[in-house]
Amino acid sequence: MGRALDEAAFVAALDRTAAAHPGLFPLEAGLLAALDLGLPGDSRGFARTFGLEHALVLRALAGLEEAGHVAVTARDPRTQRMRYTAVAPAT
């Protein structure tokens, strides 16, 4: 994730996301919170930044995509890296 992570801003975004979507798992809320802060949607970058297994991030992204919270914009078949963006809620 190219930008430096401001921990307090991330925690605030995570709290907002969790309140807005109470059914999300913490990792899913974290992925959406990172997008809310304007961080690039990159599964490997997110995993590296937070010291997580990439497979766990991919699983959380699959759940978010299935629920309509994110759209996957690119997939690298060799590395499994996914790029994604938030989907605006339907009005």
In DSSP notation, 3-50 reads: SPP-HHHHHHHHHHHHHH-TTS-HHHHHHHHHHHTT---BHHHHHHHH
Domain 7-86 sits in CATH at 1.10.10.10
Q: What's the average model confidence in pLDDT over 3-13?
A: 82
* pLDDT of 3 over the 60 cut: no
Q: What's the average model confidence in pLDDT over 57-76?
A: 95
The predicted structure's pLDDT at residue 30? 95
The tens digit of pLDDT for each residue in 14-64 reads 999 999 999 999 999 999 999 999 888 999 999 999 999 999 999 999 999
Q: How many CB atoms lie within 10 A of CB 20?
A: 12
The one-letter code for the residue type at 6 is: D
* pLDDT of 4 over the 60 cut: no
